[in-house]
Amino acid sequence: MAEVVIVESKDAAGALVAAEIAALIENRPDAVLGLATGSTPLPVYQALRGRLDGVDVSQVRGFALDEYVGLDPAHAESYRSVITREVVEPLGLDPQRIQVPNGAEATIQHAGADYEAAIAAAGGVDLQILGIGTDGHIGFNEPGSSFASRTRVKTLTEQTREDNARFFDSIDDVPRHCITQGLGTILQARHLVLLAFGEGKAQAVADAVEGPLTASLPGSAIQLHPHATVVVDEAAASKLKLADYYRYTYANKPAWQGI
C-alpha cells in the first residue's frame, strides 16, 4: 500500500517533497526527475527554489509526464512552456536535459516510442511527481487506460477538458488529444510521489489509495508500486477510511526513513 502523509497545508507538502528531491540530487547529481504539470505540484517547485540554493543542478535530468497534441510548444499553456516557466528557469536546470513528449502532429505516430526510448536511455525515472485529476487520471491516463500502457496518444475526456479550460481563453481552445506516459511507464519510476489538495480531489484520492485496483480509476495503479508516497492536505484526505492509521504511522516513523 502507498504511504499516505497528511499535511496541514500545500506549503508543508511542498517543503516535504522538495526536501526529498534535494536529498536525491545531492546523492545523485544526474538524478532523473519525473515532472508533472497542473497546479498541484507548484508548491513543490516553489519550495525547491530555496532548497536547491548552492546545490549543483547542472546534471539533473527530467521527463515531463504529458503534453497536448497539436498545441504550439510556444503557447503559454503547452506543457513544454509550463515546465520551462515553472521548473527549468526558476531552478536553473539545463533545458537540454529536460524533455517533454513531442505533441507535434507531423511526428506523433512515433513520438510515444521515441519518448520511451529516451527515458530508457536515461536509466529510468528516479522520482516521479504526480497530481491526480478529479476523475482519477494520472498524467493524462484517462479512465480505461491499461495498467500496462506506454507513452501514447489519448483522447481527453470532456471532464478533463472542462477542468483544464481555466488555463485557456475558452474550452474550445483546449486540445482534444494528448500524448502521455502510460501507467506502465509511470510504474517503472523508482519512487512515485502523488500530491493532492482540496475537497475536489478527496474522492479520487480515496479511490486511488483504498479503492479496488481498476483501469476505471487510473490512479489506483499506484497500489502496484513498491514505493509510492501520497501527500495530501486534510481536505483531500477527508474520504480516506484509514486516515487515523496513516497519521499514526507517519507520526511514529523513524526520521531517517524519509518518505
Residues that bind ligand GLP (CB under 6 A): 36-40, 65-66, 131-133, 139-140, 160, 164
Shortest CB 114 distance to ligand GLP, Å: 19
Nearer to ligand GLP, 75 or 247 (CB): 75
244 annotated active-site: no
Given 77, 116, 142, 163, which residue is catalytic? 142
Told to judge if 225 belongs to the known catalytic residues of this protein, a careful annotator would answer: no
Q: Which is nearer to ligand GLP, 131 or 175 (CB)?
A: 131
Q: In DSSP terms, which residues pair with 68 in a beta bridge? A: 178
Work out whether the CA dihedral 68, 73, 78, 84 comes out positive or negative. Answer: positive
Rounded to the nearest whole angstrom, what is the least distance from the CB of residue 259 to ligand GLP in the complex?
19
Query: What are the b/e assignments for 160-186, b being 16+ CB within 10 Å?
Result: bbebbeeebeeeeebbebbbbbbbbbb
Whether 75 is catalytic:
no
* Catalytic hit among 77, 116, 126, 135: 135
Residue 101 sits at the vertex; the CA angle it makes with 99 and 102, to the nearest 5 degrees, is 110
Rank residues 159 and 223 by Cβ distance to ligand GLP and give the closer one. Answer: 159
207 is catalytic: no
Helix (H, G, I), strand (E, B) or coil at 191: strand
Cβ-based nearer residue to ligand GLP, 55 or 168: 168
C-alpha distances in Å from residue 16, one per residue of 7, 9, 45: 9, 11, 11
What's the grid cell of residue 154? Answer: 489519448
CB of 246 to ligand GLP, least distance (A): 21
Beta strands 191-196 and 127-130, pairing class: parallel
SS3 89: helix
Cβ 122 to ligand GLP shortest distance, Å: 20
CB nearer to ligand GLP: pick between 6 and 194: 194
Residues facing residue 130 across a β-bridge: 194
Shortest Cβ distance from residue 167 to ligand GLP (Å)? 8
Q: Which residue among 126, 137, 207, 225 is the active-site one? A: 137
Residue 17: its H or E element: helix 10-27
Beta bridge partners of 192: 128, 228
Catalogue the active-site residues: 66, 135, 137, 142
